[in-house]
Amino acid sequence: MTERDILNWINNNLGVYIDKAIAHACEKYPDHPYTKDWLAAMSMRETGFLIARYVAQGAKPEIIHTLMRGDYTQREGEKEKQYHGFGYWQIDIGSYPDFVKSGDWKDPFKTCRKAIDVLESKRIYLVSHFPNLQGNGLARAITAAYNCGEGNVRQILQAGLDVDHRTYNHDYSAEVWRFREILSSLK
């Protein structure tokens, strides 16, 4: 599958859940900046490779929803490798163990809502430290913080470095923005 194919799959199979999660966010966070293309692009960055694998195997979306586990690593203090990211938006078990252990990560709507909650916590933190950070710069910083943590992004911004400096492959938010552009060309 090409990136365009995966993004089409996300649009067709997760779009309704993303729309519902955004509607929910409008009630909970009236000033939230999160959009369908932003969340779809994040799911592509987080699990696009898994989606492609399972679609190629012929798995139906309702099965794929339950298979979105990633970041299979052994962290310090762990006896063996285990999954750390769950759902299309890879909710981290270390940060949100109750959510992951509940099994709600298998529900794309609930996982998208959780991803928005995580993004919103990053936004609130970053705005409190950088009140003049706005627009695309703030959105990219929020996105980078989703990947590497808001404390890291605060330090990066204070040092005058690119927001992706400490993200995985040093390109997390840039890749999300690239996927957003591809999504806009699909319409």
Instruction: Please tell me the number of Cα atoms within 13 Å of 184 on its side-chain side.
Output: 8
Residue 78's pLDDT band, with cuts at 50, 70 and 90, is low
User: What is the C-alpha separation between 49 and 82, in angstroms, rounded?
Assistant: 18
Residue 82 is predicted with a pLDDT of 76
Query: What is the tally of structural domains in the chain?
Result: 1
Q: Please state, in angstroms and as integers, the Cα–Cα distance from residue 113 to each residue in 57, 68, 82, 104, 116, following that order.
A: 28, 16, 24, 10, 5
Rg, C-alpha atoms of the chain: 16
Mean pLDDT across 88-109: 95
Q: What percentage of the chain reaches a pLDDT higher than 70?
A: 96
123-175 tens-digit pLDDT: 999 999 999 999 999 999 999 999 999 999 999 999 999 999 999 999 999 99
The domain of 159 spans: 3-186
pLDDT score recorded for residue 75 = 60
Mean pLDDT, residues 5-21 taken together: 97
Q: Report the CATH number at residue 42.
A: 1.10.530.10
Tell me the mean pLDDT in the region 68-91: 79
The residues, ordered by sequence, that sit 6+ positions from 129 with a Cβ below 8 Å of its Cβ are 154, 157
Q: For residues 72-86, give the mean pLDDT.
A: 71
